[in-house]
Amino acid sequence: MNTEAPIIEVEGVVAHYGQREVLKGIDLAVDDGEIMVIMGGSGSGKSTLLNHLLGLLRPSRGTVRLLGRDINRLPAMELLELRRRMGVAFQSGALFSSLTVAENILLPLREHTDLDEHTMAIIARLKLEVVSLSGFGDLMPAELSGGMVKRAALARAIVMDPKLLFCDEPTAGLDPVVSSSIDQLILRLRDALGMTIVVVTHDLDSAFRIADRICVLEEGRVIAIGSKDEIRSSGSERVQNLLNRRSKEVTLDPDAYLRRLFGEG
Asked whether 111 and 120 are in contact (CB, 8 A), the reply is no
179 interacts with, out of Mg ion, ligand ADP, none, CB within 5 to 8 A per kind? none
Bridge-based pairing state of the strands 61-66 and 69-70 = antiparallel
226 binds ligand ADP (CB under 6 A): no
How many Cβ atoms from other residues are within 10 Å of residue 145's Cβ?
Answer: 11
- When the beta carbons of 232 and 248 are compared against Mg ion, the nearer one is 248
- When the beta carbons of 48 and 206 are compared against ligand ADP, the nearer one is 48
44 binds ligand ADP (CB under 6 A): yes
235 binds ligand ADP (CB under 6 A): no
40 binds ligand ADP (CB under 6 A): yes
Dist CA 176 CA 93 (whole Å): 18
17 binds ligand ADP (CB under 6 A): yes
Task: Using CB atoms within 10 Å of the CB of residue 27, give its burial: 0 to 12 exposed, 13 to 18 middle, 19+ buried.
Answer: middle
Q: Which of 36, 48, 166, 171 binds ligand ADP (CB under 6 A)?
A: 48
- When the beta carbons of 20 and 118 are compared against ligand ADP, the nearer one is 20
Q: Which of 130, 134, 50, 145 is nearest to 95 (CA)?
A: 145
Q: Which of 72, 101, 107, 102 is nearest to 87 (CA)?
A: 107
- When the beta carbons of 45 and 93 are compared against ligand ADP, the nearer one is 45
Asked whether 164 and 85 are in contact (CB, 8 A), the reply is yes
42 binds ligand ADP (CB under 6 A): yes
Residues binding Mg ion (CB under 5 A)? 46-47
